[in-house]
Amino acid sequence: YLGVVIDRAIARPVFMASAAGGMEIEEVARTQPEAILKEAIDPALGLQSYQARKIAFGLGLAPDLVNQAVPFIQAIYRAFEATDASLVEINPCVVTEEGKILALDAKINFDDNALYRHIDIRELRDLDEEEPLEIEASKYGLNYIKLDGNVGCMVNGAGLAMATMD
């Protein structure tokens, strides 16, 4: 697992990595928190080479793979920064028999508030994958989350409302 997320507690991006990829990182965090490496990133400097090397060695990669992993890890952070993402993750990321690092699956969450700067990303929106009522609410700048049955949550901050309801 390789990923970048915003850590609101320290108000900066954090690069997370774990050799226990291929499973949900939340489960790894719950059962083996020591298996997750975390590296806070100064937004003014970006992810530095020494931080990427620290992550690569922390994953237990062979020294010859570390040189390949460093630019790979830095590219993940550059993608995070360039797209104004709130999350970029690769899970799983593997080393092939030929000794190449390869991303098998990736996920990116974009910051809705920054999409005006990324028309190319906004055009990728697939309305067939969204709830019709959520699409309608988004046309008016509203946060709406469809719940089970005939219940929905429409508030100023849907994430906070969902956490409150839980």
Active site residues: 1, 89
Count of residues in the chain: 166
Asked if 37 and 55 touch (Cβ cutoff 8 Å), the reply is yes
CA distance 72 to 39: 15
Residue 11 DSSP one-character state: T
Residue 99, both tokens:
């000794």
Strand locations in 31-159 (E) = 37-40, 85-90, 93-95, 101-103, 106-110, 143-146, 152-155
Residue 163, both tokens:
């956490």
CA distance 78 to 146: 33
